[in-house]
């Protein structure tokens, strides 16, 4: 691929034709895709969570499926079932909606923990096991899960083990008044997603994912990432810090960010930008800190201020 930065920027611009005024969130979503990771969107209804997922699928030419999580949803409704065929005497696997390239798990916290756990194997190992048989998922494979942070009645909060599987966590937020007028104008006659055309293909997404893995990251920058993650494990306001999966997520996401910026190396500022989206949902704030109004974002900002940034020896640093 001659110009991976140009290709990824085209994807971002294409999605921005539908999701107006959210360039940073679109960029983070694209980073999750480029890292072969999963995305958690937590926000109130009506801000474009589902449309963002559909726009990513359409822009990349990927197959899209949606799972509406409800309390009566069964694990087999997600993974699929094996059916006995009386005519042939054989068992035939009927794939569930999880067997797709872009999967929207809508309101994931409304399903029971048993059904939520059906996603764990798929998200970590890109495979599902049904009746003892393993079925491999397509590549690329990305789960985009949404949840409402306001309505907790009748919900089942995601356990830490499942939150840890999401590479990036974002909030879309409300648009500005000017952006909201633009949204109304863009949807006055028809929704812009109806005319959204693919910019790339699943095969090219796989190529971009391999390019991301080869972005240079200096040992000093790796040490900086480890120092930040270790700081979450000893911070006085954190009950449970990030796991090593957080270090890997932060490393890989900075590689994708560098590629989007047209660089073949990671610099410390990339780590600072991606620290909260990759680590914020992996920490549990101490209850006493919650009472004092301290949240995850404040703690991550404080840790970034505490941990020493690598010196000029790190490639690409100023």
Question: Alpha helices, DSSP H only, in 35-168?
Answer: 49-60, 75-79, 113-116, 118-125, 160-163
Is the pTM for the entire model greater than 0.75?
yes
Q: Please tell me the predicted confidence (pLDDT) of residue 91.
A: 86
Distance of CA 210 to the CA centre of its chain: 18
For residues 24-45, average pLDDT: 95
- SS3 of residue 79 by DSSP: helix
Beta bridge partners of 146: 41
8 Å CB contact between 16 and 30: no
Dihedral Cα 61, 62, 63, 65, nearest 10 deg: -120
Q: Please tell me the predicted confidence (pLDDT) of residue 89.
A: 81
The answer on pLDDT for 140 being more than 90 is: yes
For residues 17-45, average pLDDT: 95
Q: Provide CB contacts within 8 A for 50, sequence distance 6+.
A: 66, 104, 106, 146
* Domain 215-306, CATH number (from 1.25.40.10, 1.10.8.80, 1.20.1090.10, 1.10.10.10): 1.10.8.80
Under the banding of pLDDT at 50, 70 and 90, the label for residue 160 is: confident
Tell me how many helices (H) and strands (E) the chain has: 14, 11
Q: Residue 150 burial by CB count (10 A; 0-12/13-18/19+): exposed, middle or buried? A: exposed
Asked if 4-207 and 215-306 have one fold, the answer is no
Which tens digit of pLDDT belongs to each residue from 274-290? 999 999 999 999 999 98
Other residues' Cβ atoms within 10 Å of the Cβ of residue 94 = 11
Q: Please tell me the predicted confidence (pLDDT) of residue 152.
A: 65
The answer on pLDDT for 224 being more than 60 is: yes
Q: Which CATH superfamily groups domain 4-207?
A: P-loop containing nucleotide triphosphate hydrolases (3.40.50.300)
- SS3 of residue 216 by DSSP: strand
Residue 151 token pair:
């309505």
- CA dist 78 and 74 (Å) reads 7
Of the listed ranges 147-151, 180-184, 204-208, 306-310, the least confidently predicted one is 147-151
Q: What separation in angstroms does the CA of 49 have from each of 44, 65, 117?
A: 9, 14, 22
Under the banding of pLDDT at 50, 70 and 90, the label for residue 5 is: very high
The answer on pLDDT for 26 being more than 90 is: yes
Q: Please tell me the predicted confidence (pLDDT) of residue 150.
A: 75
Percent of the chain's residues with pLDDT above 90: 83
Q: Please tell me the predicted confidence (pLDDT) of residue 22.
A: 94
Which tens digit of pLDDT belongs to each residue from 247-267? 999 999 999 999 999 999 999
Closest CA to 196 of 299, 54, 63: 54
For residues 195-206, average pLDDT: 95
Which tens digit of pLDDT belongs to each residue from 49-88? 999 999 999 999 999 999 999 999 999 999 999 998 888 8
The answer on pLDDT for 167 being more than 90 is: yes
Q: Please tell me the predicted confidence (pLDDT) of residue 315.
A: 46
8 Å CB contact between 58 and 198: yes
> What residue ranges do the domains of the chain occupy?
4-207, 215-306
For residues 165-185, average pLDDT: 94
């Amino acid at each position: 691929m001659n110009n991976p930065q140009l290709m990824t920027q085209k994807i971002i611009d294409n999605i921005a034709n539908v999701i107006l005024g959210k360039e940073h969130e679109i960029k983070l979503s694209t980073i999750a895709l480029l890292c072969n990771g999963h995305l958690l969107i937590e926000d109130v209804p009506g801000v474009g969570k589902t449309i963002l997922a559909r726009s990513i699928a359409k822009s990349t030419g990927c197959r899209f499926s949606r799972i509406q999580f409800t309390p009566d949803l069964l694990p087999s409704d997600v993974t699929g079932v094996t059916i006995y065929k009386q005519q042939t005497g054989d068992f035939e696997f009927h794939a569930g909606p999880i067997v797709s390239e872009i999967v929207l798990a809508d309101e994931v916290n409304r399903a029971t923990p048993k059904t939520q756990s059906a996603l764990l194997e798929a998200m970590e190992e890109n495979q599902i096991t049904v009746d003892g048989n393993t079925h491999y998922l397509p590549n690329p494979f990305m789960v985009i899960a949404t949840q409402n942070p306001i309505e907790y009645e009748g919900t089942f909060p995601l356990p830490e083990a499942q939150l840890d599987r999401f590479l990036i966590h974002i909030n879309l937020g409300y648009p500005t008044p000017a952006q909201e007028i633009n949204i109304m104008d863009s949807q006055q006659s028809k929704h812009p997603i109806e005319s959204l055309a693919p910019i790339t293909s699943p095969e090219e997404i796989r190529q971009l994912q391999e390019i991301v893995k080869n972005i240079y990251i200096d040992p000093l920058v790796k040490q900086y990432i480890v120092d930040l993650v270790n700081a979450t494990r000893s911070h006085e306001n954190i009950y449970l810090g990030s796991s090593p999966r957080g270090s890997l997520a932060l490393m890989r996401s900075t590689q994708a960010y560098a590629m989007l910026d047209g660089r073949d190396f990671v610099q410390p500022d990339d780590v600072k930008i991606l620290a909260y989206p990759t680590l914020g949902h992996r920490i549990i704030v101490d209850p006493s800190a919650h009472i004092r109004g301290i949240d995850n974002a404040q703690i991550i900002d404080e840790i970034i201020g505490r941990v020493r940034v690598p010196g000029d020896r790190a490639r690409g640093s100023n």
